Structure 1
Amino acid sequence: MLVTLILAPPPSGKTEEPRQLSKLWGKNGELWSPRSRLPDFGWAGYRWGTEPYRMPQQRVSVKDFGAKGDGQTDDTAAFQRAIQAGKGKIVFVPPGKYVLRDILYIRISNTVLQGAGPDKTVIIFAKPGVEIDPRPAKTDGNQPTTNWSWAGGLISIGGSPTKPIDVTKVAKPQKRGDTSLTLEKNFFGPGDEILLTLRDDDAKSLLHYLYRGQPGDISGLKNWYVEQVFRVVRCEGNTVVLNRPLRFDVRAEWRPTVERFAPPLTDVGVEGFTFDFPVRQYAGHFREVGLNPVEITRFAAHCWLKDLVIRNADNGPFVSGYFCTLERIRLEADPERRSQSGNYTGHHGITFGRASDCLCRDFQIDTRFIHDLTVQSSVGCVFCSGRGVDLCFDHHRWAPYENLFTDIDAGIGSRLFASSGGDTRGNHTAGGETFWCIRTQRPVRWPASLGIDSINLVGLDVADAAQAVPVLPSPTDLTGRWCEPIPPGKLFPRNLHEAMRARNAANR
């Protein structure tokens, strides 16, 4: 009889250091509850993070519509013809270099613009946005500029606004963390997706609530509203039981309504490209000319951007909408692209603006933007598993609420919380912003500049942690500073989004 012996490796002499756990989560979420000051980030991303991208079965090639891909010929018309003919299909772009001189609009669901990979398929945007569609604008400081400075993309994904369906009022108040809504009329059944909307009153009490009573100057924020999407688990008369907790209190003065969630465009993807802009020195803040590769507008849901290299851009992707995923996005720039000061090569790197439950993961920023990662007016969005040279987590005012930055190598750490935005648009962030397992080469300080003491720092090297947060509040207290300066290399779990998603999957 043959006996196989499996020998353990000899001891290395090193003892593995124990992992450290947060008082807000524990090992597997046993310390967390829907009432926690730590929001639920487990549902962010395409199709709630529960299924792979829905890829069309049919495809067309831009070569069949006259595209050359020789780096010289203007292939814009061929791309436009291919997208028109390829509605609901994969529009494939074979290896080559394709020159585009106009905006590409993708306005039909289930359409995927697919390259052969960023090392094989290159799109050269030869004409900036301001030369195609000028879009004049002014900054909050009344400085002339163009809307391309902070929005827009030369590939534009999104539908047209549609009339709400099955609108009904919410009949009774609820608390943040509750998992049901009682409606005046119930049009819905198990499996339906619904959209809850809250609208501010004349006293701006909704904004005060979002900012946990610390709004700053909100004179420039008018007619504010917030939204959250749910899936109906079951119905008990006019009460619908929800698949996840409410992010907000639901109060009568905020005129809460529910409607069927029916986004006008879904399941559009752009993947497998290098987007290249001709090298020109970055002119500086608000002098951008629209070297912007791609946008997902707010009239879209369940869309994705994947495997993209973006070179020498004014801005990276601008993403609004619901449940969109960005993965493996790399931003880079040639040395000649640097501004005269040598500090920056663009304005915004990756931006979630008026986005809900969107996810950006596995990103890489190999240059410096004025704002590398931006959240503005976004709710429940996640940046995770990325790295950069010296990242800036830009909270751009306009009430970003309950967003997460987790498992990120932020590089140097000299400007981690540097944020911008107009002075009358509220403090830089509203409540619930969470920073979890962020690695920096130098210690950071408590981000007092964000203007609010209702955020969470866990797993950061915070130099003044003991002075800034001498005592932790209760885990269910939504106000007060929370800082657990656990060394990022020892914190478990490293990626809070993935841990929450796994917990949600286990409880479904």
Structure 2
Amino acid sequence: MGRDVHRRDFLRMTGGTLAGASVLGALDGTALARETGAGLWQEYLASPDTHPRIPNVSYAGYRRGERPLPRPPVRVNVRAFGAKGDGETDDTAAMNRAIEALARHGGTVFLPPGRYRLTGVIWMHHSGVVLRGAGRGRTTLFFDESLTTAYRPPGRNEWSFSGGMVWFIPRQLRQGLEDRGFMGNEGWLDDRELAEVTSTVRRGARRIPVTDPSAFSPGDHVLLLADNPPDSSLLAHLAGDVPGTRTYPWNTAAQRLRPELTSWPLAENFSRYRFPVQVAAVERNAIVLAQPTRIDLLPGWKPRFRALGPAVRDAGIEALTIEMRQITQPAHHADPGFNGPHFQAALNCWAREVDVWHSDNGFGLTSAKGVTLSDVTVGGRARHHSFVCRVQSHDMLVDRFRIPAATTPLGSGAAYHGINTEGFTSGNVWSDGVMDGTFDSHRALPFDSVRTAIRVANTGNTGGHGEAGPRWGARFCHWNIEVTNGRSHGIRLEEHAPFSAMVGVRGTSGPTDHAKDFTGPLHSVVESLDGDVHPANLYRAQLRDRLHRRATAEQAAEE
């Protein structure tokens, strides 16, 4: 699709003005003409919260990228609780005792250099608690048992995509999952009803009219809900409301997103859209959110706010290596659960300078929000997923990551995916990476996602059940991607993901080989493939732009 076509769409949707030229004014005009993405970047700067193809993912990561990752002070040393770190003693109980000692006040559990043999789960139930080693390669957590043998046998293959040997999860959610046999709601818990949204709100808004603003206070994290009605209009909206959404067979191809049509035990997770968000201000008849909405809020979807229930907040793991006992990679969906850190109902948490070796699955997120995974590696034997992002996880940032090629071949009947997103997830970013695998989607309409500044040997495969709906929703942006083996699978999405942009994807010859979910125009674009890219990292440029705008506005207000 040509440049003139997609620019005309943008002008129609934004009222016909293009701004932001001054931001790029310092660049030489001739150089801009040669660089791919410059025109789209200018369009984004004109309207960052409502651009039809490029999502504003500048809010991704810990506290929306507005604060650096913290370094809470060391409160306890795990050796004081009996841990030996000698590679032979079972240090599981000692480590969990040290964590529990910080349950009330938070702080850091320090793990001095050593090899800590573990035969059970390290439970991170408490907010404000950090596990900190002495550095990668100096402090090693060696897991000698899997979730299946150390915790419980899986009831429905759940360790193939959830759960971790270091598991950030509120105790109340864990108890509920255990009571239900890990069926039903896996993620965000809500509390009391706060207020209903009183009129239509369009994507990109921050001011939300509500029935009772007195129920809110600035700084609160609340849960924004919107129901998925029988006409599947919310699902169509997540797919950009392109013409093909009117003929897509939602009742058969997306049964798993409609609890009334399926017996799938996890359908409850998709009966409504769930988006945790912080309140910035309270007005007479409205609240102001700390970030713009990612979807429209229409009366037919009954948009409303509820109090956010228990969540693990401001907790992390850093400066260590995680190593699993090596086994042969099992068949697909038979993972015993040698899984790395998993963040579930986790808010503003992080993993920093952590390597995971020989896992079934590397890092996982289930209903997480504002989690940063920074300077991380997933390597060693063949695995199922390196990164899992599922069940309404939002604004996650994986930055400076590495996934080297597996040291063992893919097992018989096994599957490898790569960096995964699925299930109403949005605002998520993979930035500055070198990887083996693919840009996986497991269906259920992930949307508003960016992969940028990544070099990839495209060896993995996408997944997902045929009744879980479309693989891609609206506004997938792949920006400055180098493919080293010529394969387009999961990466060139211009004929598959609605209102999306493939910018500066180098080393491929055509679109992905997937079957198309939607007929008719998708309004997606490919821009100047195999060229240089400006900006080189879309996420970082977006964050710089937003923080600059905010600082300028604050300065003007002070004057």
Q: TM-score, normalising length from structure 2?
A: 0.77
Matched residue SS, 2:430: strand
The aligned residue for residue 472 of structure 1 is none
Is 1:174 equivalent to 2:189 in the alignment?
Answer: no
CA, structure 1 residues 76+243, in 2 after alignment: closer, same or farther (shift >3 Å)?
A: closer
Q: Deviations over 1:162-197 (max 9, x none)?
A: 552561000001112233211011123555444321
Q: In the alignment, which of 335, 352, 362 is matched to residue 400 of structure 2?
A: 362
CA, structure 1 residues 169+33, in 2 after alignment: closer, same or farther (shift >3 Å)?
A: closer
The aligned residue for residue 493 of structure 1 is 535
Report if aligned partners of 2:485, 2:507 keep a CA contact under 8 Å in 1: no
Q: Distance in 2 between matches of 1:295 and 1:479?
A: 35
User: Which letter maps to 1:352?
Assistant: C
Matches within 5 A, 1:342-381: 345-354=382-391, 355-368=393-406, 370-377=416-423, 378-381=425-428
Is 1:387 equivalent to 2:425 in the alignment?
Answer: no
Is 1:272 equivalent to 2:319 in the alignment?
Answer: yes
Is 1:460 equivalent to 2:496 in the alignment?
Answer: no
- Alpha-carbon shift at residue 429 of structure 1 (Å): 1.4
CA, structure 1 residues 135+203, in 2 after alignment: closer, same or farther (shift >3 Å)?
A: farther
Report if aligned partners of 2:483, 2:507 keep a CA contact under 8 Å in 1: no
Q: In the alignment, which of 268, 274, 283 is matched to residue 227 of structure 1?
A: 274
The aligned residue for residue 8 of structure 2 is none
CA, structure 1 residues 243+479, in 2 after alignment: closer, same or farther (shift >3 Å)?
A: farther
Report if aligned partners of 2:400, 2:433 keep a CA contact under 8 Å in 1: yes
- Alpha-carbon shift at residue 149 of structure 1 (Å): 1.6
Matches within 5 A, 1:99-498: 99-138=117-156, 146-159=157-170, 160=172, 163-165=190-192, 167-187=194-214, 188-212=216-240, 213-214=244-245, 217-223=253-259, 224-261=271-308, 264-297=311-344, 299-320=345-366, 321-333=368-380, 337=381, 345-354=382-391, 355-368=393-406, 370-377=416-423, 378-389=425-436, 391-411=437-457, 413=458, 418-445=461-488, 447=492, 451-461=496-506, 463-464=508-509, 479-487=522-530, 490-498=532-540
Q: Distance in 2 between matches of 1:448 and 1:379?
A: 17
The aligned residue for residue 79 of structure 2 is 63
Q: Distance in 2 between matches of 1:466 and 1:502?
A: 31
Q: Distance in 2 between matches of 1:498 and 1:432?
A: 18
Report if aligned partners of 2:348, 2:371 keep a CA contact under 8 Å in 1: yes
- Alpha-carbon shift at residue 319 of structure 1 (Å): 1.3
Report if aligned partners of 1:109, 1:268 keep a CA contact under 8 Å in 2: yes
Q: Deviations over 1:119-153 (max 9, x none)?
A: 10011100111112334334xxxxxxx32122111
More helix by share: 2
Report if aligned partners of 1:35, 1:176 keep a CA contact under 8 Å in 2: no
The aligned residue for residue 74 of structure 1 is 90
Matched residue SS, 2:539: helix
Q: Distance in 2 between matches of 1:381 and 1:420?
A: 19
CA, structure 1 residues 448+47, in 2 after alignment: closer, same or farther (shift >3 Å)?
A: closer
- Alpha-carbon shift at residue 279 of structure 1 (Å): 2.0
Report if aligned partners of 2:475, 2:497 keep a CA contact under 8 Å in 1: no
The aligned residue for residue 11 of structure 1 is none
- Alpha-carbon shift at residue 451 of structure 1 (Å): 4.3
Q: Distance in 1 between matches of 2:398 and 2:31?
A: 32
Q: Distance in 2 between matches of 1:458 and 1:124?
A: 41
- Root-mean-square deviation over aligned CA pairs: 2.7
The aligned residue for residue 89 of structure 1 is 107
Q: What runs of 5+ residues in structure 2 fail to find an aligned partner?
A: 1-29, 174-188, 260-270, 407-414, 514-520, 551-559
CA, structure 1 residues 228+278, in 2 after alignment: closer, same or farther (shift >3 Å)?
A: closer
Q: Distance in 2 between matches of 1:31 and 1:221?
A: 32
Matched residue SS, 1:500: helix
Matched residue SS, 1:285: coil
Matched residue SS, 2:256: coil
- Alpha-carbon shift at residue 444 of structure 1 (Å): 4.5
Q: TM-score, normalising length from structure 1?
A: 0.84
Q: What runs of 5+ residues in structure 1 fail to find an aligned partner?
A: 1-14, 139-145, 338-344, 469-477
- Pairs aligned (count): 462
Q: Deviations over 1:57-102 (max 9, x none)?
A: 3421111111111111111121122111133121111001110001
Report if aligned partners of 1:22, 1:458 keep a CA contact under 8 Å in 2: no
The aligned residue for residue 26 of structure 1 is 42
Report if aligned partners of 2:114, 2:138 keep a CA contact under 8 Å in 1: yes
Report if aligned partners of 1:461, 1:485 keep a CA contact under 8 Å in 2: no
- Alpha-carbon shift at residue 485 of structure 1 (Å): 3.2
- Alpha-carbon shift at residue 36 of structure 1 (Å): 2.9
Q: Deviations over 1:255-308 (max 9, x none)?
A: 1002355653201111111111222221231221111122111x2200101111
Report if aligned partners of 1:310, 1:332 keep a CA contact under 8 Å in 2: yes
CA, structure 1 residues 494+184, in 2 after alignment: closer, same or farther (shift >3 Å)?
A: same
Q: Distance in 1 between matches of 2:313 and 2:281?
A: 25
Q: Distance in 2 between matches of 1:149 and 1:467?
A: 25
CA, structure 1 residues 59+177, in 2 after alignment: closer, same or farther (shift >3 Å)?
A: same
